[in-house]
A and B are shown apart, each in its own frame.
Chain A
Amino acid sequence: MSLLRFIEPNRATSRGELRVLAAIWLGALLLGWACSASGLLPTPAEVLRALRSLVFEQGLLAHLSSSLYTSLLALVWASALSALLCYAAVVPALRPLAVLVGNLRFWGFAGVSVAFTLWFHGGRDLKVALLTFGMTGFFVTGLHDELSLIPRERYEYARALGMSEWRVVWEVVILGTCDRFLDLMRQNAAMGWMLLTMVEALVRSDGGIGVLLANQSKHLDLASIAALQGVIFGVGLLQDLALATLKRVLCPWAFLKVEDESHELSL
């Protein structure tokens, strides 16, 4: 079997082959990093030492759990608000609300933080409010678009079975798209996790990994910054994996369509 097949354009790859290719790339990147002599990039050994110091001397795990809790609360609030607004949009009178909130994604974050500080006075509530605000606009836009893509035939199918309009909303709009809802939750969780360090650097009470990162940035401790970035990246990936698993458990049917098709260019 020739290795040349891996440079043929548009060639289908199996999942196993893709994993091997990913491992090769990861290994090459780690090797390149270990061998690099740039003064700006700390070596893997320096990063590991900084990570140990962060864990045992600077309370990384406590900060991390605080961040995770904040992120989770914001995700729950953003998901609940978005679901409420978008599903309520089946009633024409409430439809403009979803559009309006969706457009709030263009509202500046900085100005909002002052208003929210006056309202929530600081602490975790303020961080959760800021993150929820940051996520909800995008979540509502995504969910609203998903719901508007439901084909008319699906509504008519449910109606032809004699279902009431509220039952149609439950079966077609809510249950019928819950796999896409979980996808959007996953995307917004990633966005929230990315915003979190910024919000925590802005609101330092209750700690958080963003506070640690801001402190290390102030002292230009590149090894600690790299270690924290690695932790943020790894936890973000784990969070993404957890939500993907949740979708697999709650919506197994959503994977059946994909698995039956060949993965020409699947990544």
Chain B
Amino acid sequence: MNCRYELREALLTLDDLGLSLGGKPILSGVSACVRNVTRPGVLQGQVVGVLGPSGVGKTQLFRLLSGLTLPDRGRVLVGPKQEPVARGQVGVVAQAYPLFEHYSVLQNLVVAARQHGLDKAEARKQAAEMLARFALQECASAYPATLSGGQRQRVAIAQQLIRPKPLLLMDEPFSGLDLGMVRAVCALLAEVSLHDEELTTVIVTHDISAALSVADTLWLLGRPRETDGTCQGARIVHTIDLMERGLAWHPDVTHAPAFESTKREVEQRFATL
């Protein structure tokens, strides 16, 4: 499949990020840039898959991107104006899909909307729109404890996207799901990415196939050894452009000719991370 696209202004910049915890370097020299992808006739957001072995520092990178942790070095710039990231400015969907258990689904959305300065009536209107967009109208008055895993995930995403955000971070959205559910989540993420031209979704995952199915770019996070044998912390060691390979925005990407070869390539690279 060949799609015409253009790369325009930077929407997410990781500028030489470094982070140490307890004197141990976790991330070092993490640099990358996501540019606005434009396609004719489509509101196309950007989707980046972050892959890396367990313990490499994916969660810490996630925290830096969310603004919940400040880097020791470097900066994260988001949006078309490339402003330094601040907490609350980007959407964060954690692995367990936390929600306020003491509020109904509708109230969870209203709380998030009001947090961004909307009055009560406008917040309820926006919340109702998000419920409709994510097919959650029937759950509006339900408490989170009664939701299925899929519904909970949709509420968590809806809550984060109720106000326009430059960045949506998702931590392990495919973890513990069967194949059917992984496909459903990929479809949901594809739908989310088609809603806002300037929204960049960053998915931290272990699932290579799912990341290939939904992302337009892959970042492989690894911990390379320096020439003297020391390790200075993890950084993005490979960037794979899936748009260039014709694997982005593909309706049936798993059957695309380049899918299996790219998957094998990622697996081989993964083993060296």
Which residues of A does B touch, CB under 8 Å? 153-154, 156-157, 159-163, 171, 175-176, 178-179, 251-253, 256-257, 260
Contacts and interface: CB of A to CB of B under 8 A. Distances in A.
B100 interface: yes
A171 B98 CA distance: 13
Contacts of A161: 88, 111-112, 115, 159
A18 B257 CA distance: 62
Contacts of B68: 156, 159-160
B146 interface: yes
Contact of A251 (B94, B99, B102, B144): B102
Given A161-B115, A163-B88, A163-B115, A256 B145 contact: yes
Contacts of A260: 145-146
Given A171-B100, A178-B102, A256-B145, A162 B94 contact: no
21 contacts: A153-B96, A156-B68, A156-B92, A159-B88, A160-B90, A161-B111, A162-B87, A162-B88, A162-B89, A162-B115, A162-B116, A171-B111, A175-B100, A175-B102, A176-B101, A179-B102, A253-B101, A256-B143, A256-B146, A260-B145, A260-B146
Interface residues of B, number: 24
Interface string B133-159: 000000000011110000000000001
Contact of B94 (A156, A175, A256, A257): A156
Closest 7 CB pairs of A and B: A162-B88, A160-B92, A256-B145, A157-B98, A253-B143, A257-B145, A162-B115
A236 B115 CA distance: 44
B144 to A, nearest CB: 8
Given A252-B143, A257-B145, A160 B87 contact: yes
Contacts of A159: 68, 87-88
Interface string B74-107: 0000000000000111111010101111100000
A149 to B, nearest CB: 14
A12 B70 CA distance: 50
A116 B90 CA distance: 55
B66 interface: yes
Contacts of B94: 153, 156-157, 160
A162 B111 CA distance: 11
Contacts of B144: 253
